Structure 1
Amino acid sequence: MARYHGPKARINRRLGALIYESAGAAKALERRDNPPGMHVKGGRRLSNWGKASAEKQKIKHYYGLGERQLRKYYHMVASKKGNTGEQLLTLCERRLDNVIRRAGFTKTRPQARQGIVHGHFFVNGVKVTSPSYQLRQGDVITVRAKEPIYNLYKGVLSEGGANTPDFVSFDGETLRATLLAVPGPNDFSLPVDVNIVVEFLSR
């Protein structure tokens, strides 16, 4: 799932949400929000298993997770006190690729993952090449000090459209982002019924 290269517009339409944010995929969802291949208005009615599976697919595609990684996150929070679903999404939101996307460095999460793997980003002055790196409160993200890389991300900012969440501060002049707090339920950007996903994973 982390390396999904198929038609992104089809995933958006199938799941009925803006999962992939590329321009073409977003426009396809706006034009036709019905599932692909379903010519009856409203499509088919899903079973409880089908609904849970669809919600799980939303999380996997949105955050770029594989099945094993999603289950790993679930097992990390399953025995902790509090709402398991919220804690699961908190882990997803704390991923380096997600924070880079939400801070406004990139337009999409795949772009953020590509930049991380290529060594474009540092956390607290140390190069990190793992998109799944879990950020902690106070961590600072900066861009590698090379002019072509700096200009690349400056160019993204010049296009506008960034909507930085409250749990991240971002300085567009220095290309520096700081995780101000651990993201909570009000910070989650994916509309998903995570509770039925937790029930699905607990089987």
Structure 2
Amino acid sequence: MGRYTGPKGRVNRRLGALVFEDAGATRALDQRNLPPGMSQRRRKASNYGLALIEKQKIKFYYGLRERQLRRYFDKARRIKGNTGEALLILCEQRLDNVVCRAGFAQTRPQARQGIVHSHFQLNGVTVNKPSIWVKPGDVITVRNRPNLKKLYGELVESGRPGCAWITLDKKALAANVVTAPTFEDVSLPVDVGQVVALISR
């Protein structure tokens, strides 16, 4: 799956979860909590179908391709502890997710776009790869350009609430990753055990 550019409200309705968080997609799920299409009844899915839905939640939520997700899974499997929890923690440490969770963007696709356009610096170095893994002690800043300072200053003031493992200096527009995220910090409602079982087949 490449980067998804289709109707986001349909994805939310198909998966029955708030995967895309922008206003239109949220409104679509609130108004019609049924899958899109002619049928008005949600058919009972098989065990494979249920697991596939859970996997698609992770892929759409974090903007991952299949190969990326499997690469993360292979890395998570080598980490001591619960593989599913380690997988989601690795996803949380992606740069685009951290930019979004810090409050620089309202959604992950918006954060991804800003990173690709080189709007941010990681530890003083301009970056353009949303998939970079961020570690405790890393500092993310907005590049020192008046138009970017104005844009992200407004987003920070009206943005989403922050999280415990990231501190944000609104005046300097700098986000400091204090600690690594834990499984409790993951905001996506997903049965990751089914995903692990599916990928392990």
**TM-score higher than 0.5:** yes
Shift of 1:2: 4.9
**What CA distance in whole angstroms lies between the structure 1 residues aligned with 2:2 and 2:151?**
23
- 3-state SS of 2:175 partner: strand
**What CA distance in whole angstroms lies between the structure 2 residues aligned with 1:108 and 1:80?**
29
Name the amino acid aligned to 1:34: L
Name the amino acid aligned to 2:8: K
Q: Is the 8 A contact 1:18 1:29 kept in 2?
A: yes
**What CA distance in whole angstroms lies between the structure 2 residues aligned with 1:34 and 1:74?**
31
Q: Any gaps of 5 or more consecutive residues in structure 2?
A: none
Q: 1:51 corresponds to which residue?
A: 50
**What CA distance in whole angstroms lies between the structure 1 residues aligned with 2:2 and 2:26?**
19
Q: 1:158 corresponds to which residue?
A: 157
CA deviation profile, 1:108-146 (whole Å, cap 9, x unmatched): 111101100111101110111110000000100000000
Paired residues for 1:34-73 under 5 Å: 34-37=34-37, 38-40=39-41, 43-73=42-72
**What CA distance in whole angstroms lies between the structure 1 residues aligned with 2:135 and 2:2?**
22
**What CA distance in whole angstroms lies between the structure 1 residues aligned with 2:33 and 2:172?**
39
- Give the TM-score, by structure 1 length: 0.96
- 3-state SS of 1:136 partner: coil
Q: Is residue 76 of structure 2 the alignment partner of residue 94 of structure 1?
A: no
**What CA distance in whole angstroms lies between the structure 2 residues aligned with 1:164 and 1:155?**
15
Q: Is residue 33 of structure 2 the alignment partner of residue 33 of structure 1?
A: yes
Name the amino acid aligned to 1:17: A
Name the amino acid aligned to 1:84: T
- 3-state SS of 2:167 partner: strand
Shift of 1:174: 1.2
Q: Any gaps of 5 or more consecutive residues in structure 1?
A: none
Q: Could you tell me which of 174, 177, 180 is aligned with 2:175?
A: 177
Cα distance 1:2–1:91, how it changes in 2: closer, same or farther (>3 A)?
farther
**What CA distance in whole angstroms lies between the structure 1 residues aligned with 2:25 and 2:80?**
38
Q: 2:184 corresponds to which residue?
A: 186
**What CA distance in whole angstroms lies between the structure 2 residues aligned with 1:174 and 1:89?**
30
Name the amino acid aligned to 1:159: S
Name the amino acid aligned to 1:29: L
**What CA distance in whole angstroms lies between the structure 2 residues aligned with 1:130 and 1:80?**
24
Q: Is residue 198 of structure 2 the alignment partner of residue 200 of structure 1?
A: yes
Q: Is the 8 A contact 1:8 1:20 kept in 2?
A: yes
Shift of 1:171: 1.4
Q: 1:108 corresponds to which residue?
A: 107
Q: 2:141 corresponds to which residue?
A: 142
**What CA distance in whole angstroms lies between the structure 1 residues aligned with 2:79 and 2:98?**
24
**What CA distance in whole angstroms lies between the structure 2 residues aligned with 1:175 and 1:46?**
46
Root-mean-square deviation (Å):
1.0
Identity %: 55
- 3-state SS of 2:89 partner: helix
**What CA distance in whole angstroms lies between the structure 2 residues aligned with 1:168 and 1:157?**
14
Shift of 1:77: 1.6
Q: Is the 8 A contact 1:55 1:194 kept in 2?
A: yes
**What CA distance in whole angstroms lies between the structure 1 residues aligned with 2:158 and 2:180?**
28
Shift of 1:157: 2.3
**What CA distance in whole angstroms lies between the structure 2 residues aligned with 1:86 and 1:180?**
20
Q: Is the 8 A contact 1:95 1:131 kept in 2?
A: yes
CA deviation profile, 1:133-166 (whole Å, cap 9, x unmatched): 0000010000000000111111212334x21110
